Amino acid sequence: MIAERRWTRTTAEAECFYRNHKKLSAVLAMSNFIEVILLNGRAYTGYVTSGSVGNNAGCDGTWRYYGYTTIILEDNTEVTFDHLEIAEVKTVVYSEI
């Protein structure tokens, strides 16, 4: 589990967050059974159980964003990943497993 929110710090991170959140949202519109590949190369396949996204409403003069999602794997292990760490995400068709 992510212990604390990881806020975007730069415009580049905010743009990355937006792209990744948009990809994840598009996939979740089709199914909550997904495969996510992270920037570190780790890949996970499972059901989305929870997530959170938010922003600071520009309180300090700069808009900052955070987001994370938790999935449960086949062995009942929970994995939580930060939206800034997404390299790729896709829907998994049950027959593919």
Each domain of the chain, given as residue ranges in start order, spans: 11-96
Task: With CA atoms as reference, report the closest residue to 92 among 49, 56, 44.
Answer: 44
Question: 11-96, which class in CATH?
Answer: mainly beta
pLDDT at res. 60: 83
pLDDT tens track for 11-29: 999 999 999 999 999 999 8
pLDDT at res. 70: 94
pLDDT tens track for 26-72: 999 888 899 999 999 999 999 999 999 999 998 888 899 999 999 99
pLDDT at res. 61: 86
- Write out the E strands in the chain: 33-38, 43-55, 65-73, 78-82, 86-91
29: tokens are 């519109």
The whole-angstrom separation of Cα 63 and Cα 5 is 15
